Amino acid sequence: MAGIHITDIESAINFWRDKCPSPDGFSLAAPIRALAEVYAQMVFYRETEADEHSFPVEALEFWLTWYDTTPDSPCIAICSTSQGDAQCKGCGRSFTEVQQWTELRPAQKRQTWRRITLEARAWRFNRYSERAGGYFQRSASTSTLSAPSPNIKTPS
């Protein structure tokens, strides 16, 4: 089962908050309301992933619209799986994930993205980060790799 992680739902909510701001400061647009209902249930039940197959249809459509704005593949054109590695040194995906990437569903791709981001061992997160658009940066003071935290907005 591929699950949709709560941070992806947060990101989708923030995407829709930017696209459909509240006209009066308290009402929610349909996409935000649909995703917020899923998010609220996940928080209430202390779940970190929602089953993609039981996701409410309307909320899934809004999540997929957000998903379409994310990079599809973590590939940085340095694939070591073609030289026999089980795990690509460039992007961090397994040989199977690289081979079947075009067949994976969006939730499966996001699970892979989450795993390789948390591991942060692939070259896309360090020596070749410029190929990944410079998204990940090494902190000069701590020498640790960090990705921007999800843009969680709070009401003003």
The per-residue pLDDT for range 87-115, each reduced to its tens digit, is 999 999 999 999 999 999 999 999 999 99
Residue partners of 114: CB distance under 8 A and separation at least 6 = 5, 7, 8
Residue 156 has pLDDT above 60, yes or no: no
- Stretch 58-74: mean pLDDT: 97
- pTM summary value: 0.81
Residue 151 has pLDDT above 80, yes or no: no
Least confident piece of the model among 7-16, 40-49, 124-133, 147-156: 147-156
CA atoms in the 13 A half-sphere facing the CB of 51: 3
**Among candidates 104, 101, 74, which has minimal Cα distance to 90?**
74
Residue 147 pLDDT: 47
